[in-house]
Structure 1
Amino acid sequence: MNSWDERFAGEDFLFGEAPNAFLARQGHLLKAGQRALAVADGEARNGVWLAEQGLSVHSTDFSAVAQQKARRLAARRGVELELELADLFTWQFPEAAYDVVVAIFIQILPPDARERVFAAMKAALKPGGLLILEGYRPEQIAYRTGGPSDPAWHYTEDLLRGAFGDFEIIELSSYDAALDEGKRHKGMSALIDLVARKPA
């Protein structure tokens, strides 16, 4: 059992069962029938919500324990997910395979690996595809309400503009807000949101 399996063990959903609020606000950009990749989707609160919007969802995560709970959540909500056990450090993203790529709090990567994964997420989108990403800014460390302790693993607007500047940036915003997402994301948080579209 890896450390993520240990983290996800237990009956409670670590980050709750409701979708991430920022993701839910992007519902107007999504269309039923689209194919979506949910990166490091854990117990699939976000993947399940995407499926409820009528999308075909490929949900990946490193933890088999999390994906067992994802299956139960999907069944309870009456939707289907394509679940795949995947290590972000080694997983080969399919190319031009998705209409939407969702990456919510995937800050489990050091900068060199993050650069590779960002490039792979971009390549995984079809032309005209949509990237939806939320993470923490370095200011999050002072709040102690979730996320990594190393500021190099956090996002800034300059970092995201550098990584996704060849996309059409629909939204890029930094703000502080209170999160209430299970036990692990609770309290005031330093957030950064990105919605960007791959050139057609």
Structure 2
Amino acid sequence: MDETFWNERYSQPEYVYGTDPNTFLQASISHFPTTGCVLCLAEGEGRNALFLAQQGYEVWAVDISASGKEKAEKLAREHGVSFEYIVANVNDFDFGEKTWDVIVSISAHTDPNTRKRVYRKSLKGLKENGIFILESYHPKQLQYETGGPKNVEWLVTLNDLIPYFSGQQIIHQRETERDVREGTFHTGKAFVTQFICKKISS
């Protein structure tokens, strides 16, 4: 699932993952600081960045797809908000150090090596008391066939990610079945991994 794959997927006129925010993200916003800078990883067509900008956050999105950027910026204009959108591979993107109040990883599926680097860079990039939030498909999702990667190595368990956030305050951790209705490609009963933590130490 490289740049060509995502540019082709996002070149369709419709928003293939919908325009509403991820419901786990929406339900979890009470854990966020009331203002601040938010980084959205693998943001695609912009639905989560739009939601966060509407809440008053300063939002940066990063994604490999130029087609995704075009649709995200169109969505923002239609709703009278704005956010920064950087076309880049997360391997190359500089998360900085103590830069972000929130880092959002919603369906940001990658190969295991990239995933490990992203977790390390996320923790380094968060400010003190910053929030990292993730929802990804779990390996059990392969039994459901309602969306997500078909390669089990790209799917996430709590055991895969918790060690990278050792010493931080875990606010929420869950592996669960839930109904996911996000456009054409995420639709129906699914099995997901959810995780929220607050950075309390470097």
TM over 0.5: yes
Helix, strand or coil for the counterpart of 2:148? coil
1:91-123 Cα deviation digits (max 9, x unpaired): 22222111000000111x211121111101111
CA contact (8 A) 2:76 2:82 kept: yes
User: Which runs of 5 or more structure 2 residues have no equivalent in the other structure?
Assistant: none
CA contact (8 A) 1:31 1:53 kept: no
Helix, strand or coil for the counterpart of 1:176? strand
CA contact (8 A) 2:129 2:199 kept: yes
Partners of 1:188 and 1:165 in 2: CA distance: 31
Are 1:86 and 2:88 an aligned pair? yes
Amino acid in structure 2 at the alignment position of 1:21: T
Are 1:124 and 2:103 an aligned pair? no
Partners of 2:148 and 2:4 in 1: CA distance: 19
Provide the residue aligned with 2:37 in structure 1: 35
Provide the residue aligned with 2:74 in structure 1: 72
Provide the residue aligned with 1:95 in structure 2: 97
CA contact (8 A) 1:31 1:54 kept: no
Partners of 2:35 and 2:172 in 1: CA distance: 24
1:19-77 Cα deviation digits (max 9, x unpaired): 00000001212344310000110111000100111100011111111111101111111
Partners of 1:152 and 1:61 in 2: CA distance: 20
- Greater displacement, 97-106 / 23-32: 23-32
Please point out which of 50, 53, 56 is paired with 1:51.
53
Provide the residue aligned with 2:194 in structure 1: 193
Provide the residue aligned with 1:4 in structure 2: 6
* 1:166 to partner: Cα distance: 2.4
Provide the residue aligned with 2:135 in structure 1: 134
Partners of 2:17 and 2:146 in 1: CA distance: 12
Equivalent residues, number:
199
Amino acid in structure 2 at the alignment position of 1:185: H
TM-score normalized by structure 1? 0.95
- Greater displacement, 155-164 / 130-139: 155-164
CA contact (8 A) 2:100 2:126 kept: yes
CA contact (8 A) 1:59 1:81 kept: yes
- C-alpha RMSD over aligned residues: 1.3
* 1:158 to partner: Cα distance: 1.5
* 1:84 to partner: Cα distance: 0.8
CA contact (8 A) 2:158 2:175 kept: yes
Partners of 2:151 and 2:66 in 1: CA distance: 26
Helix, strand or coil for the counterpart of 2:60? strand
Partners of 1:31 and 1:171 in 2: CA distance: 16
CA contact (8 A) 2:119 2:161 kept: no
Partners of 1:88 and 1:57 in 2: CA distance: 16
